Structure formats: structure tokens, C-alpha cells
Structure 1
Amino acid sequence: MMTMLWRVSLIAALLLCYMLLSCASEHEKGERQEFQKPDKRADSHIKVKRNHTTANDKRPKTLTPRKKVKKTGRVSVGPRSDIGCTRLGGICQPNRFICQGRYLKDKCLGSKTRQCCVQVGAWSVLCTGHHNNRVRACDAYGCGAFNSERVNGLHKAVDVVCDDYGIISSPFSGSLAGPVSRQDPAGNQYDGVKLLSDVFCVKIFNIRPYRYLGPVAQGEALGYLLPLQDRFSGITSHLELQMCDGTDPSPFI
């Protein structure tokens, strides 16, 4: 009998513990769900703030006035050193000084009056069969020296005496840079070729070149002299040398 009562009491105690544990578990679960529920009032407060910010964003913002940039033309940049002059064997100095040779522009750093003085040697003979470059003297059609009087002004070139159809040689090493031509007041056309190097640039008129482009060595045949006697009877046959910058080629021939 006592054993039976002890068993009933034990079962009743176990059932009571089970009920207490179940109640505790349900209570904890309810608190967890309550904590996870979103706060509607807080959410609506956030939405109101967002709407307020969006409305404020629609207001026009203060614009910063743009500064007007003044456009300027291209600025020419000169040489950054004197290397362009020194590699030619020249020296950079103010062009008011005497140069025992030839001044070259755009080879020196600094002011435009600071130019490259190059000591240059004489050119070789242009006309085959001649011992030197002889300047055409005066004849019935004028004189061949630089700055000679002409009908249309001063003669800004030098006429070198040659024979009709004579071979013309390059006076210095350089490159041929294409055909050239000029016309006198009477309408006579004179054709030729341009020859240039790092130091010189010259136009040679009244010749028929073998070619108009490419490198040439000093003394190399350029072409032959076109005859003048057909148009100017009695004139001294010659070619015409004109520096590209209009200076006098006399010191070099």
C-alpha cells in the first residue's frame, strides 16, 4: 500500500514539473515575439522624416556662378636650350654682335634677339667646268649682284655664271625640298628646286632638276642649266641663287 502511494506522489511531482516548464517556455516565446514586432509609431516617424527630406531636396539649390575663362591664343614656345645651336658648331649671342659667318634664328634659348652665330665655310662650285662661283656682271639685261637695281625693285638674289645645259652641282650637303618657281614682270617663268640643310636654305632658279626630293651630298649633280639665249639674246647665261629668308648668299659662294 505504501509503495503505491509513493509511486502516485512521484508521478504527480513529475507532472507538476512538466507543467511549470511548459508555462515558462510559453512565456519566454511570447516575450521574444513581442520584442521582434516593429514599432509602427517609430516607423511612421522615420517615413515622415524621409518625406520631409525629399520635399526639401526639391527646393532649388544655390548655384555657384561659373568664372569666365578668358581664351588666349596659342603661345609659341621657343627652344628649351642652346643644343640646337651648339650641335651645329655655333654660339648663342645677341644679334647686335658681329658674326663672322651667319646668324640662324630659333636655335637659342631666351629672347628672339639672341641668335645662333655659325662659322660657315664657302660653298663648292655650282657649275661644272668652272673653277669658281663667278657672279654675273652687268649686261644689257641688268646686273647679277645682290641688291642690284631692277625694273621691279632690288634684286634679292645672286646670279652665278654658267653655260647653257651645263651640269649644276649641289653647293652643300642637304635635302631637296621640292620645286620652286617665280615670274618676272614681263611674264617669264623661272623654275628650279629648293635645297636646305640645318644651316642653309636656298632656292636655285633656272635649272631643270633630275629630282625634286631626297638627300644630296655636296658636289652631287642636281640637274642642268636651262638656256636663256632663246628669250634674251646676248644675256650672260646664269643660274639664280635666292636665300629662303631673303638674305645675301654672296659670303658663301
Structure 2
Amino acid sequence: MMMKMPLRVHLIAALLICYVLLICALEHEEGKGEELQSPEKDVGNSIKVRRNDTTANDGKPKAITPRKKVKKTGSKKASVGSRSDISCTKLGGICQPSRYICQGRYLKDKCSGAKTRQCCMPVGAWNILCAGHHNNRVRACDVHGCGAFNSRRGNGLHKAVDLVCDDYGIVNTPFSGSLAGPVSRKDPAGNQYDGVKLLNDVHCVKIFNIRPYRYIGPVSQGEALGYLLPLQDRFSGITSHLELQMCDSTDPSPFI
């Protein structure tokens, strides 16, 4: 019995020691857990503080930045004055809708109203050039060629119209305008032809084989412009004529 008592005491003491060690270990683990949880609490508190700050700032009136005023500049349409039919009638034309047939050709921007109204320049709108003749007769073919526009001339085409006139006969102004100086040209054979340039705001022509009374200044339609130079001394058998050429080499036939 005496031997069993010390064993029991030792066993109880060992159990007590184990119990104490277990309690110490548990307390140590709880201390670590509190240290780990404390930063999270601080973070949560800081988040709450920031939220409170933002809510506090939301309550304050925000500063409004003034907007720059942009001036609206409306495009002002320039008032365009109505055109007059005088620009057409003074040239001998008639203002009419372009869908109508024109015995000649139409000129744009010469009539009032809609753009479809154009100036019809009839055939023969120009004055008769050669005095003593009833019309502007185009030179027919002879031994030296033909006088119609685009007729064959050597290796090229005749970009003018030859009108039959009498030697030294008076040549009249076909339309009102201004004389713009002397002109001359040479054919492939080297023959020179002299004349004068006549123009206005619509037409521009060169008239060859004539001697004008003057080379500069205004002239009126039908006014004596000069006289025809003879061609028989240089071209035997040729029909006496003047040469009428548009400055842009187009056909003057619709106007004569």
C-alpha cells in the first residue's frame, strides 16, 4: 500500500503539469489570434473614417466651373440682286426657258429669274458685215478651197468662216463692243493676213483681210469698221472675202 501511494501522487502531479501546459498553450494561441485581428480592425476603422469624410464632403456644395459662352455665328446669306434681261436683249437675244427650241444657241447667266431661263441668240443675231450684201454669205468652194467652218485646209481644218465681200467694200461692225488692237496670222505658205480684234462681255472675234479705220476704242453694231483688202493679186481666181474667226476657235455660224 505504501508503494502505491507515491505512484498515485506522481501520476496526479504529471496530470496537473500537463493541464497547466495545455492552458498555457491555449492562452498563447489566443494572444496570437488577437494580434492578427487588430490590423483588420484598424483597416475597418480607417475605411469607416474615409467613408465619413466622403459623406461629409458630399454635403458641401461643389464649386461650379463657369462654361465658356460660344457665340453662334449664323452664316448670313449674301443677298444677290436679281439679274435683268437687258444683258440678253442688248445682244439681240431673247430670254426664254431652255426647254424651248432655240434657232441658234443659248447663253447662260444673261436672264433674270430661274436658271432655266437662258438667253437664246438666234441665227443672224449679228449685223451684216459686208456692205451692199443682203446677208452674211459664206464663201463657196473655189480653186483655193472652201470658206465653211471646219473645211479642209491642207493638212488641217479651217477654224473660221469666210464671208463674201467686194474688194475695197465697207465692212460693218457685227456687234457692239470695243476694238482691242491689230491681229495678224500666217498660213503654211507664209502669206500674212492682217485685221483687228473686236470683243464685248460675250463675244470675241478676229476679222482678217480688212483695213480698219482704227484699232482701239468702242464701236456700235452696224458702224463702218474698215474696208476689205483685195486678194486677187495674190490668189488668182479666189472669191473675195473676209475671214471671221472666234477668239476661242469655236464656230461663229450660229450668229451670222
TM-score range, shorter chain: 0.5 to 0.7
Q: Could you tell me which amino acid in structure 1 is paired with residue 244 of structure 2?
A: L
Q: Which runs of 4+ in 1 moved over 6 A?
A: 80-85, 105-108
> How far apart, CA to CA, are the structure 2 residues paired with 1:201 and 1:87?
19
1:57-90: CA deviation from partner (whole Å, max 9, x where unpaired): xxxxxxxxxxxxxxxxxxxxxxx96977965238
Matched, 1:230 2:233: yes
> How far apart, CA to CA, are the structure 2 residues paired with 1:231 and 1:237?
11
1:42-61: CA deviation from partner (whole Å, max 9, x where unpaired): xxxxxxxxxxxxxxxxxxxx
CA-atom RMSD in angstroms: 3.0
CA-CA distance at 1:248 after TM superposition: 0.7
Pair 1:104–1:83, CA change in 2 (3 A): farther
Pair 1:116–1:240, CA change in 2 (3 A): farther
* Aligned position for 1:160: 163
* Aligned position for 2:194: 191
CA-CA distance at 1:251 after TM superposition: 1.2
> How far apart, CA to CA, are the structure 1 residues paired with 2:217 and 2:130?
21
Matched, 1:138 2:141: yes
Check conservation: 2:105, 2:254, Cα contact below 8 A. Answer: no
* Aligned position for 2:120: 119
Check conservation: 2:179, 2:217, Cα contact below 8 A. Answer: yes
Structure 2-normalised TM-score?
0.57
CA-CA distance at 1:101 after TM superposition: 3.9
**Could you say what secondary structure the match of 1:119 adopts?**
strand
* Aligned position for 2:7: none
CA-CA distance at 1:197 after TM superposition: 1.6
* Aligned position for 1:219: 222
1:86-116: CA deviation from partner (whole Å, max 9, x where unpaired): 6523899xx9x986544558989xxxxx999
Matched, 1:171 2:168: no
> How far apart, CA to CA, are the structure 2 residues paired with 1:160 and 1:91?
26
**Could you say what secondary structure the match of 2:87 adopts?**
coil
Check conservation: 2:106, 2:121, Cα contact below 8 A. Answer: no
* Aligned position for 1:75: none
Unpaired runs of at least 5, structure 2: 1-78
Unpaired runs of at least 5, structure 1: 1-79, 109-113
CA-CA distance at 1:118 after TM superposition: 2.8
1:3-54: CA deviation from partner (whole Å, max 9, x where unpaired): xxxxxxxxxxxxxxxxxxxxxxxxxxxxxxxxxxxxxxxxxxxxxxxxxxxx
Q: Name the larger-Rg structure.
A: 2
> How far apart, CA to CA, are the structure 2 residues paired with 1:248 and 1:85?
27
Check conservation: 1:204, 1:242, Cα contact below 8 A. Answer: yes
> How far apart, CA to CA, are the structure 2 residues paired with 1:241 and 1:82?
36
Check conservation: 1:101, 1:117, Cα contact below 8 A. Answer: no
Count of residues in correspondence between the two structures: 168
Pair 1:185–1:120, CA change in 2 (3 A): same
Check conservation: 2:184, 2:194, Cα contact below 8 A. Answer: yes
Structure 1-normalised TM-score?
0.58
* Aligned position for 2:87: 88
CA-CA distance at 1:151 after TM superposition: 0.3
Check conservation: 2:87, 2:110, Cα contact below 8 A. Answer: no
